[in-house]
Amino acid sequence: MTHETAYARAGVDIAAGDRAVELMKEHVAGTRRPEVLGGLGGFAGFFDAAAFKDYRHPVLATSTDGVGTKVDIARRMKVYDTIGFDLMGMLVDDLVVVGAEPLFVTDYISCGHVDPEVIASVVKGIAQACQKAGCALLGGETAEHPGLLAPDEFDVAGATTGVVERDEILGPERIAEGDALIAVASSGLHSNGYSLVRHVLLEQAGWTLDRHVDELGRTVGEELLEPTIVYAADLLALAHHSEVHAMCHVTGGGLANNLARVMPSHLTATIERSTWSPAPIFRLVQEVGAVSQSDIEETLNMGVGMVIALPDDQVPEALEFLAGRGLTAWQCGTVASRESSDVPAVSLLGGYSMD
């Protein structure tokens, strides 16, 4: 007769957790860098800091974030191997904007009940995104929270660490009057604004995830689950190739609010909306929910995942470089002197292109 432990009677399945670790080991192994010491399953992960000996003045950068309510879309669609890209996009792309190379990531998955195959599928996506970013998945935690989460509910978060030479840190102090601004296209909603999107489309409009929408060319669920682009490796390569002054990751708060975070107080950025046409999902959310222009732009990325500030004469070469790495990019604006505090740090002008 099988003995059921008190912990199991309380709803925590340690055996399932062990099975999940076994299933994910192969995926994690694919992210290994030479600096990683040991393997998965220890109390801590090790990264050999001797790798920094060739730096003149290494500075560590760190970031932490989660996927947010997009995990509910993955749960309802039973597709678990894409949200790892959303997690990694939120993590490593906050590092690359300061010029840091992502080194390693740790993840945290909380769930109502450990389903080994589901957890392994989530970690598979995280590992694939780590490989895309060039960093190691150093370790993590899977926590079972019966009574707090329903058996099929889960959440995903993580933290990452990177390194950059102190005199190569990108940021506001490098931006100069006359700089050009390059926009890099997003793949869609990425991983921000899902509370609004879910409210408008699924609750307010009553649409189902399997509803096919002609404007989208696919179902609502497929559109909402589109993975975030992980830009880190490509934009780090650009920073080494061109004279990049600063970068802005467009996440929660939208384009203007995030770009303002990297603008020095004496300069202002002007963005021309006419330089691009947001994907249909953005117009759809706005129209179905009767969302104002200001609200939609303060919540969603409107088709721009990253903005890069660099000297104007380097725009053609930078655009060619990004295109060669499979990224869609275009010049979207310029930087000018800010004559007074009444002038906003960032201005979005005109209407979006409808092409």
- Helix, strand, or coil here: 229? coil
The per-residue pLDDT for 2 is: 52
Of the candidates 192, 228, 224, 194, which has an alpha carbon nearest to the alpha carbon of residue 93? 228
**Torsions phi, psi of 183, nearest 5?**
-95, 140
Calculate ∠ Cα 218-224-230, nearest 5°: 110
pTM, rounded to two decimals = 0.92
The per-residue pLDDT for 19 is: 66
Residues 6+ apart with CB under 8 A from 180: 309, 310, 311, 312, 314, 315, 331, 333, 334, 335
Of the candidates 217, 154, 227, which has an alpha carbon nearest to the alpha carbon of residue 189? 227
Chain-centre distance for alpha carbon 32: 21
| Strand duo 267-272 + 346-349: pairing | parallel
**pLDDT tens per residue, the chain (355 residues)?**
455 554 554 555 556 656 666 666 676 677 888 888 877 667 788 999 998 999 999 999 999 999 999 999 999 999 999 999 999 999 999 999 999 999 999 999 999 998 989 999 999 999 999 999 999 999 889 999 998 999 999 999 999 999 999 999 999 999 999 999 999 999 999 999 999 999 999 999 999 999 999 999 999 999 999 999 999 999 999 999 999 999 999 998 999 999 999 999 999 999 999 999 999 999 999 999 999 999 999 999 999 999 999 999 999 999 999 999 999 999 999 999 998 888 999 999 999 987 5
Exposed e or buried b per residue across 211-231, where buried means at least 16 C-beta atoms within 10 angstroms of its C-beta: eebeebeebbbbbbbbbbbbb
Could you tell me what percentage of the chain is helix, strand and coil, using 3-state DSSP and rounding each to the nearest 5? 40, 25, 35
**Could you name the CATH architecture of 4-163?**
2-Layer Sandwich (3.30)
Of the candidates 182, 303, 155, which has an alpha carbon nearest to the alpha carbon of residue 238? 182
- The amino acid present at 312, given as its one-letter code, is D
The per-residue pLDDT for 105 is: 96
The per-residue pLDDT for 1 is: 44
Q: Give me the count of residues in the chain.
A: 355
Query: What gap in Å lies between CA 143 and CA 120, rounded to an integer?
Result: 13
Of the candidates 234, 228, 286, 298, which has an alpha carbon nearest to the alpha carbon of residue 260? 298
| Domain boundary assignment for the chain | 4-163, 170-347
The per-residue pLDDT for 15 is: 63
CATH topology of domain 170-347: Phosphoribosyl-aminoimidazole Synthetase; Chain A, domain 2 (3.90.650)
**Torsions phi, psi of 337, nearest 5?**
-65, 140
Please name the residue ranges forming H helices in the chain. 6-9, 14-29, 70-77, 83-96, 116-133, 194-197, 220-224, 232-241, 254-260, 280-289, 293-297, 315-324
- Helix, strand, or coil here: 257? helix
Calculate ∠ Cα 217-295-157, nearest 5°: 70
DSSP state of 159: E
